């Protein structure tokens, strides 16, 4: 199947914006493109590191509580129990891109949250539907991460009930670092995704993206956390804000 055929087989909503660009970015040799976003803090060796998704041929996103290869079976059990009280029909968060890498001389993870327009930065809390025990467990997990991060750098206000996506990204990054894996949490903006005008203002450039992310996180994430190393019981967690222009090479959909 050709790339255009694989692209056309995606749901229409995935044929543009950040999702389509994440698939383009992770086509082989993805390590080259990903590496440029995390230098000088991490090294990706395509011969031994893995990433998901892996382009159009393997478009599935990683769930760290479920997907083998990023954590051991025992570690996946630990993070799933931390996040969920009842597993049936429930999920741990999907990552736009997840990649194993060498970070500070240790094996760790690069976790990517990608956006293509300003309105993707959501401020809503987690919907109060589904299993009540899971709803409570997630609040407790985010609260634990919030306390842990405040012990490193004061000023965090992670919560289940506001800026849920931002909060769960930092909570999971903290938890993975607490298991001894260095983490780079990368907020990635795709510049000039002009086809997304009907959804929200496209990201103009690197400076605009940095400003958007910092404004979005104000009052939730201390500004001093961005670009700096946070040591979680001796293991580094580094939140980064990066952007790039990646024009789609496939047939573009309206």
Helix (H) / strand (E) containing 108: strand 106-115
Whether the pLDDT of residue 251 is over 60: the answer is no
Specify the residue for token string 């009052």: 219
Q: Return the residue matching tokens 């991060």.
A: 149
Q: Which domain holds residue 227?
A: 3-245
Q: Evaluate whether residue 253 is within a structural domain.
A: no
Quick one: DSSP state of residue 115?
Answer: E
User: Is the pLDDT confidence value at 243 over 90?
Assistant: yes
The answer to whether the CB of 72 falls within 8 A of the CB of 80 is: no
Q: Which of 101, 115, 111 is nearest to 41 (CA)?
A: 101
Using alpha carbons only, give the angle 98, 248, 47 rounded to the nearest 5 degrees: 40
Mean pLDDT over 103-130 rounds to: 94
Does the residue 45 lie in any domain? Answer: yes
Domain assignment present for residue 251? The answer is: no
Residue 231 Cα to chain centre, angstroms: 19
pTM: 0.94
The mean pLDDT of 176-191, rounded to a whole number, is 98
Q: Tens of pLDDT along 28-62?
A: 665 668 899 999 999 999 889 999 999 888 999 99
Whether the CB-CB separation of 198 and 117 falls below 8 Å is answered with no
68 within domain boundaries: yes
Residue 34 DSSP SS3:
helix
Confidence class for position 254, pLDDT limits 50, 70, 90:
very low
Spell out the SS3 assignment of the chain.
Answer: CCHHHHHHCCCHHHCCHHHHHHHHHCCCCHHHHHHHHHCCCEECCCCCCCEECECCCECCCEECCCCECCECHHHHHHHHHHHCCCCCCCCCCEECEEEEEEECCEEEEEEEEEECEHHHCCCCCCCCCCCHHHHHHHHHHHHHHHHHHHHHCCCCCCCCCCCHHHHHHHHHHHHHHHCCCCEEEEEEEEECCHHHCCCCCEECCHHHHHHHHHHHHCCCCCHHHCCCCEEECCEEEEEEEEEEECCCCCCCCC
Identify whether 208 is part of a domain: yes
Query: Does 252 map to a domain?
Result: no
Would you say residue 167 lies in a domain?
Answer: yes
State how many domains the chain has.
Answer: 1
Contact 131, 87 (CB under 8 A): no
Compute how many other C-beta atoms are within 10 angstroms of the C-beta atom of residue 10. 17
pLDDT above 80: residue 252: no
- Residue 254 forms part of a structural domain: no
Nearest to 139 by CA among 171, 181, 115: 171
């Amino acid at each position: 199947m050709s790339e255009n055929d694989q692209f056309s087989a995606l749901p229409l909503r995935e044929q543009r914006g950040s999702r389509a660009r994440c698939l383009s970015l992770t086509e082989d040799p993805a390590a080259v493109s990903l590496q440029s976003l995390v230098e000088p803090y991490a090294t990706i060796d395509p011969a031994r590191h893995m990433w998901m998704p892996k382009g159009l041929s393997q478009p599935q996103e990683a769930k760290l509580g479920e997907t083998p290869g990023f954590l051991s079976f025992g570690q996946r059990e630990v993070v799933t129990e931390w996040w969920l009280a009842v597993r049936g029909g429930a999920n741990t968060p999907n990552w736009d891109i997840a990649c194993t890498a060498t970070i500070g001389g240790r094996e760790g993870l690069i976790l990517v949250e990608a956006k293509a327009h300003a309105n993707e930065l959501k401020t809503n809390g987690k919907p109060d539907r589904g299993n009540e025990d899971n709803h409570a467990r997630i609040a407790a997990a985010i609260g634990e991460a919030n306390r842990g991060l405040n012990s490193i750098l004061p000023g965090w206000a992670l919560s289940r009930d506001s800026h849920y996506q931002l909060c769960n990204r930092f909570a999971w990054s903290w938890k993975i670092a607490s298991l001894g894996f260095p983490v780079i949490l990368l907020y990635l903006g795709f510049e000039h995704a002009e086809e997304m005008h009907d959804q929200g203002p496209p990201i103009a450039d690197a400076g605009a993206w940095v400003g958007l992310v910092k404004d979005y996180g104000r009052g939730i994430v201390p500004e001093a956390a961005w670009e700096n190393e946070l040591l979680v019981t001796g293991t580094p967690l580094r939140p980064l804000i990066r952007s790039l222009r990646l024009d789609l090479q496939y047939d573009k959909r309206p």
